């Protein structure tokens, strides 16, 4: 794996009238009160930097991105009524579904109420028969198996899943996840050495391996077979000569759903083996119980690896969240508790994405992801709590590192304030920690509205992580300078490279020249903020929230709903909380009062005044504490 380090009016309408008759899926820009229409709703680049136009001269030297225009979705009224009727939903909740492409068909029923029967047979995955046959032979002969994972959430959970499964079968199984700092990425010399060290004759990769031609060939020369289970896009050229390449995205695949995460592919392998061992009969009870519990690990990976939460992934996530409520595995239970999830309550996607995932990733970012694997393999509750606490400590250190590095990184970014000249920010510094520069690249890209590559230097060499902005192919721009880097790769929205310090200036110039060509002399335009519906604040009720709960979990391709209420007022002065970067508000309309959290908006406190008009864009969510649920708002934007 290459160094890609993985961590959104018009007068309000009533609750039963979210759409206006005659609208047919169009979108409408929401204007500021008394202002001209909002600009640039859907373009990917602003007008030519070199063209003299006073409207844009001021923007050409801005160092921080403009806030996006608000875009009110206007779904087809007939489609909303049909979905509301078929799904037993209010028009407000139905409009959320229509805005995400759903219609009143059979697929709608499967989305609202996912069924495990919708999961595809593991045998449909390419080379599943070969993988099952080779593993069966290894089990019968008592061979040593090495499960080879990766250091992100997906790789960690997939590793733990298969190791637990093989232990259940009584196999001689070992595991290995690379160390970010000493081993590098995915398969490499460390992989071969680990296989030799434990005496493995079969290596099974999870969440990696599809591109590892050389390492798998080297293992073969040592008499070690490799089974690849992966979900990443295959390379354009040669595929590895593995015994089996179980990946729904390889060219020969006929699997009905391409978007599984690595842990889901690992689950499919375990499921396929369980089917084979049952010889066409009912699956053994212990194996069936394992597969149900393992869905909890798959749910964590599905949410945190940001794969589309639709179709098969939605079913896996929904049932996995239920499994997490009462996981039989102490490590998962301990981590849920630390993330604020009360025992017996299924976590939400937000719990996993903001509470669980960062703690797992912190191990791979600062130490070794092996600590997280050990947590999920631990069967003693006391030791599991201790390991979970270690993850929590590492996550706090990760936050501290980010706070320490962010000011000098932002200061350096300010030096490249002319977006016309530097549409792609390339920043570098000695000692920037490899474990957090990917997260900070995302922060810089978000703050400045431009793609950002951050390079952490160690002497005369550096490793960089890059993050893009919507609509811009980051990898295409970076590849213009690939003759200057030592290695690199990624995809349109995230990439990474290794480069010598002496080449960074030339690399910056080369990739920015390419970026200017790609933008045709223009600038990156902020994507409009898509709003599902304009509703009175009083329409946001527990009953409506209950309907929206049926549409959880939220994630990619099933984004959390976003509402606009133009009748809000501050009930008390705003409070800056945390380190001062967040705002806590109490907003009201008539007798309706909500607590509202505006994360990352602390510096905007002066824009708010008691009694003044307030248009609020927000996502609703439950805050559960000691068994009590309160409906709160997460502020997306305001004015």
Which residue shows structure tokens 């709703």? 41
Structure tokens at 627: 């068994």
Calculate the alpha carbon distances from 639 to 33, 576, 636 in Å: 9, 17, 11
What phi and psi values does residue 524 have, to the nearest 5 degrees?
-70, 130
Pick from 365, 348, 332: which is nearest to 439 by CA? 365
CATH code of the domain made up of 118-394? 3.90.1640.30
pLDDT at 30: 60
pLDDT at 579: 84
8 A C-beta contact, residue 351 and residue 405: no
**pTM value?**
0.87
Q: Helices in 459-572 by DSSP H: which ranges? A: 474-479, 504-518, 542-549
Pick from 471, 477, 415, 426: which is nearest to 452 by CA? 426
pLDDT digits (tens, 9 = 90+) for 449-508: 999 999 999 999 999 999 999 889 999 999 999 999 998 887 788 888 999 999 999 999
Structure tokens at 219: 């293992």
Q: What is the dihedral of CA 215, 220, 222, 224, to 10 degrees?
A: 100
CATH topology classification for 1-99+408-554: Diaminopimelate Epimerase; Chain A, domain 1 (3.10.310)
pLDDT at 28: 60
Positions in the chain short of pLDDT 50: 1-25, 33-47, 51-62
| CATH 3.90.1640.30 domain residues, the chain | 118-394
CATH topology classification for 562-639: OB fold (Dihydrolipoamide Acetyltransferase, E2P) (2.40.50)
Opening angle at CA 140, ends 135 and 143, nearest 5? 70
Residue 451 to residue 523: CA distance in whole angstroms: 11
pLDDT at 48: 55
| CATH 2.40.50.460 domain residues, the chain | 562-639
Structure tokens at 250: 């390889």
**Cross-sheet strand order for the sheet of 70-74:** 26-30, 70-74, 529-531
Pick from 367, 398, 374: which is nearest to 388 by CA? 374
Residue 587 to residue 131: CA distance in whole angstroms: 57
């Amino acid at each position: 794996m290459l160094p890609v380090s993985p961590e959104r009016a018009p007068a309000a309408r009533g609750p039963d009238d979210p759409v206006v008759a005659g609208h047919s899926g169009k979108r409408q820009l929401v204007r500021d009160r008394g202002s001209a229409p909002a600009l640039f709703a859907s373009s990917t680049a602003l007008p030519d930097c070199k063209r003299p136009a006073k409207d844009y001269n001021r923007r050409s030297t801005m160092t921080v991105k403009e806030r996006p225009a608000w875009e009110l979705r206007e779904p087809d009224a007939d489609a909303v009524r049909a979905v509301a009727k078929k799904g037993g939903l209010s028009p407000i909740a139905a409009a959320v579904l229509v805005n995400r492409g759903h219609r009143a068909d059979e697929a709608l029923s499967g989305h609202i109420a996912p069924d495990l029967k919708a999961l595809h047979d593991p045998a449909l995955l390419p080379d599943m028969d070969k993988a099952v046959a080779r593993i069966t032979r290894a089990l019968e002969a008592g061979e040593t198996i090495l499960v080879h994972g990766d250091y992100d959430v997906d790789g960690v959970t997939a590793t733990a899943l298969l190791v637990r499964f093989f232990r259940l079968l009584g196999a001689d199984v070992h595991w290995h996840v690379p160390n970010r700092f000493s081993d590098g990425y995915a398969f490499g010399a460390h992989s071969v050495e680990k296989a030799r060290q434990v005496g493995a004759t079969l290596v099974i990769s999870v969440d990696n391996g599809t591109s590892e031609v050389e390492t798998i060939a080297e293992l073969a020369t040592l008499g070690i077979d490799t089974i690849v289970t992966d979900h990443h896009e295959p390379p354009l050229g040669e595929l590895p000569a593995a015994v089996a390449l179980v990946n729904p995205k390889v060219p020969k695949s006929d699997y009905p759903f391409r978007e599984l995460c690595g842990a889901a592919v690992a689950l499919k392998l375990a499921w396929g083996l369980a089917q084979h061992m049952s010889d066409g009969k009912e699956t053994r009870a212990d194996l069936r119980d394992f597969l149900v519990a393992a869905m909890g690990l798959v749910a964590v990976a599905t949410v945190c690896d940001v794969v589309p939460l639709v179709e098969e992934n939605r079913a896996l996530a929904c049932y996995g969240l239920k499994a997490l409520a009462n996981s039989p595995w102490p490590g998962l239970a301990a981590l849920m508790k630390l993330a604020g999830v009360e025992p017996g309550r299924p976590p939400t996607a937000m719990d996993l994405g903001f509470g669980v995932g960062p703690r797992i990733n912190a191990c791979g970012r600062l130490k070794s992801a092996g600590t997280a694997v050990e947590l999920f393999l631990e069967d003693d509750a006391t030791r599991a709590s201790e390991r979970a606490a270690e993850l929590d400590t590492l996550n706090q250190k990760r936050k501290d590192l980010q706070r320490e590095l962010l000011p000098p990184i932002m200061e350096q970014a300010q030096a490249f304030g002319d977006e016309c000249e530097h549409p792609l920010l390339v920043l570098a510094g000695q000692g920037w920690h490899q474990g957090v520069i990917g997260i900070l690249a995302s922060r810089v890209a978000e703050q400045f509205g431009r793609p950002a590559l951050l390079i952490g230097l160690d002497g005369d060499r550096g490793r960089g992580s890059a993050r893009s902005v919507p609509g811009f192919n980051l990898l295409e721009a970076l590849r213009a300078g690939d003759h200057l880097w030592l290695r690199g790769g990624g995809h349109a929205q995230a990439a990474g490279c290794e480069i010598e310090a002496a080449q960074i200036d030339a690399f910056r110039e080369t990739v920015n020249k390419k970026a200017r060509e790609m933008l045709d002399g223009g600038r990156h335009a902020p994507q409009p903020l898509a709003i599902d519906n304009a509703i009175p604040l009083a329409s946001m009720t527990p009953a409506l929230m209950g309907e929206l709960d049926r549409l959880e979990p939220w994630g990619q391709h099933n984004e959390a709903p976003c509402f606009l209420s133009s009748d809000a007022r501050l009930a008390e002065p705003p409070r800056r909380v945390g380190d001062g970067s967040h705002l806590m508000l109490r907003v009201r309309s008539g007798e309706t009062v909500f607590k509202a959290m505006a994360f990352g908006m602390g510096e905007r406190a002066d824009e708010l005044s008691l009694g003044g008009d307030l248009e609020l864009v927000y996502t609703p969510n439950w805050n559960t504490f000691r068994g009590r649920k309160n409906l709160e708002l997460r502020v997306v934007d305001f004015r």
